Chain A
């Protein structure tokens, strides 16, 4: 019994809160609309939706843990998606072409991330400014490649990445689980993971502790770029076309998820599991609103409201803790 109490105490309050919210939504929606909400089809459609922005949210989480922010994720996603599409079309949509497209997309994501990391870590330009410019820059390159309209005519089999299922589990969910596992391993068991947390909580102290801040920053933004490109590939596969202005609402959504998952906006704190749960909770809310036929505009307002509400509560709780 004591052991259970200890476990509850040990568990992050934030994660516990998210779990409770998710379960509440499932129960309430299960009572209101049991046939639509609790159907296999609904869960499968949710499964093909959330990995897109969910993977982007992890990029945002890493950047925020380092004490920065990555507003260019959507730009990176679209640019690598476009280049992926161009590569595939150039190679006639064969299986080899698809593989080449994915590899090229990830390299593009790495390059974009490296550019961000260099400007932030070496030239010491504030992350917010760099990534805001980055968004413009990468979107701009995307527009130059596509000349405006979307690139279409992608191979049918490429759409299977988001539409296909493996033993009733949508493939995006499998990709998402792999990403979560890899990130969890990186944060838990590598030197880089520990260094990132140190640097995020106090960059001066980490510098004097012998941590190469530039290297950690570069790694962080490169990882973030890779996650961005994976998100981009999923977006391209989802729409079966590539364009420079897909998913523009994802910037706010990823920020919301990262904060909801317990990532501290000033750096140093963040949990992979928290963010993963936040993504699932948010997708449940979104799906519930869809089934209740709430307008998409109210959803936009709701995201903003939830973001503000969550930060205000955590901030108030924290200030209470410090005054005690």
Chain B
């Protein structure tokens, strides 16, 4: 019995991804000793910070049986409108920035929720349409130029660090305080998904909508919460990105959906819904970020990057699908 549990943990998806990450780190470390050190961890966490925020939002949507490809557009309209509004009215408050950005995100999420839940349009098509609509509105009515004037208080957040490390050569590496946002979000998501009725409901409607309805879950309510949360987190992610890059661009995040969905799928979340874990998502994002940022250390030219990331996703999904088949074929107790 105990043996079975050990076996289950060892063959779990999270474990496989973790092993791949460790293996990749060892290989990169051997090829290029420059990789080993605290600075890699700091750079990596900075690189994956925003992706982490988007990934947890997207994972919740996918677990509920939907998909949201509109989050880059939602993030862009939220961050751009907020910064523009704050500059025009000379408002300078961090709290206001996040609140307004998140608020715009919630409104966009509400639009997605109505289309998917009430009118019952396939989520991919609905969110693709919303994405195009929002992006067009942002560029046509808000402006197409990057804004580099960020209100002072908001901007100063990018210069606050919770941990600094100086290497022998005297180069300083600092971990930004913004890393707390994803950390808090992941702990919160873990607790909500695992221990609350709402979280279990999200898994239930992703697994089988009819069964969930018969079991007494309010599907429409849960879907509204899921898509509005995703919109809110997209807004927060967009604002975080603005502070990190110290610039607000109306198109800066477009195209991010591919990487995020890839990271989630590699982390073991099933695109058909009902399965997925917070830890898996974290590991998936780490793996993708590791590949994206450190291929150059292995001597792989940068123009190979798109292909290699795509290839990893294909292999990852093939393995997942074979595993699903294998599990389904096993005799049920």
Instruction: Looking at the assembled complex, report how far the CB atom of B314 sits from the nearest CB atom of chain A, in whole angstroms.
Output: 5
The B interface, classified by DSSP as helix, strand, loop or mixed, is helix
Encode A252-271 as 1/0 by CB contact (under 8 A) with B.
Answer: 10011001000001100000
Q: Quick one: given A123-B322, A298-B140, A312-B121, are A304 and B131 in contact (CB under 8 Å)?
A: yes
Q: Are B129 and A132 in contact (CB under 8 A)?
A: no
Within 84-107 of B, Cβ neighbours of A (below 8 Å) are at none
Q: A208: CB under 8 A from chain B?
A: no
A140, B310: Cβ atoms under 8 Å?
yes
Chain A min CB distance to B55 (Å): 15
Question: In the complex, are the beta carbons of B136 and A302 less than 8 A apart?
Answer: yes
A126-B132 CB under 8 A given contacts A136-B262, A297-B144, A315-B119: no
Whether A144 and B307, one on each chain, are in contact in the complex, defined by CB atoms closer than 8 angstroms, is: yes
B125, B258, B304, B325: which contacts A307 (Cβ < 8 A)? B125
State whether A308 touches B126 (Cβ < 8 A).
yes
From 275 to 333 in chain B, residues with beta carbon under 8 angstroms from any chain A beta carbon are 301, 303-311, 313-314, 317-318, 321-322, 325
Out of A134, A140, A308, name the residue touching B306 (CB < 8 Å): A140
Query: Does A300 lie within 8 Å of B119, measured CB to CB?
Result: no
- With beta carbons under 8 angstroms apart, the residue of A265, A295, A308 that contacts B130 is A308
Q: Is B243 an interface residue (CB 8 A)?
A: no
B119 contacts which chain A residues (CB < 8 A)? 311-312, 315-316
Q: With the chains together, A136 CA to B301 CA distance in Å?
A: 17
Q: How far is the CB of A204 from chain B (nearest CB, A)?
A: 15
B303 touches A143 (CB 8 A): yes
Known: A140-B309, A298-B136. A126 touches B271 (CB 8 A): yes
- In the complex, which residue of chain B has the Cβ closest to the Cβ of A264? B122
Complex Cα spacing A126 to B261, Å: 13
| Chain A residues, CB < 8 A from B306 | 136, 139-140, 143, 244
- Size of the chain B interface, CB-CB below 8 angstroms: 45
| Cβ A124 vs Cβ B272 within 8 A | no
Given A69-B124, A139-B310, A316-B119, decide whether A304 and B261 contact each other with a Cβ distance below 8 A: no
Interface mask (B120-160 → A, CB under 8 Å = 1, otherwise 0): 11101110111111111101100010000000000000000
A23 at the interface (CB under 8 A from B): no
Beta-carbon contact of A137 and B311 below 8 Å: yes
Please give, as numbers and ranges, the residues of chain B lying within 8 Å of A295 by CB-CB distance: 140
Q: How many residues of A contact B (CB 8 A)?
A: 48
For A304, give its contact among B120, B129, B139 (CB under 8 Å).
B129
User: A315: which B residues are within 8 A, CB to CB?
Assistant: 119-121
Set B122, B133, B311: member contacting A266, Cβ < 8 A: B122
Tell me, in angstroms, the Cα distance from A143 to B261 when the chains sit together: 21
CB of B115 closer than 8 Å to a CB of A: yes
Roughly how many angstroms separate A123 CA and B125 CA in the complex, as a whole number?
24
Contact A144 B303 (CB under 8 A): yes
Least CB distance from B326 to A in Å reads 12
Residue A301 interfacial (CB < 8 Å): yes
**Is B67 interfacial (CB 8 A cutoff)?**
yes
Beta-carbon contact of A300 and B128 below 8 Å? no
Taken together as a complex, chains A and B put the C-alpha atoms of A78 and B21 apart, in Å, by 32
Given the known inter-chain contacts A301-B132, A301-B135, please indicate yes or no for A136 contacting B309, CB distance below 8 A: yes
Residue of A nearest to B254 (CB): A248
Please tell me if B236 contacts chain A, counting CB pairs below 8 Å. Answer: no
Q: B-side interface residues toward A, CB under 8 Å?
A: 67, 115, 119-122, 124-126, 128-137, 139-140, 144, 258, 261-262, 265, 271-272, 301, 303-311, 313-314, 317-318, 321-322, 325
13 A–B contacts from the bound complex (CB under 8 Å): A69-B124, A125-B321, A132-B261, A133-B314, A140-B311, A143-B307, A147-B303, A244-B306, A301-B132, A307-B129, A307-B132, A308-B129, A308-B130
Taking A137-B307, A315-B120 as known contacts, 10 extra A-B pairs with beta carbons closer than 8 A to each other, sorted by chain A number, are A123-B318, A123-B322, A126-B271, A140-B311, A297-B140, A301-B132, A302-B136, A304-B130, A305-B133, A307-B128
Q: Closest 3 CB pairs between A and B?
A: A301-B136, A140-B307, A304-B132
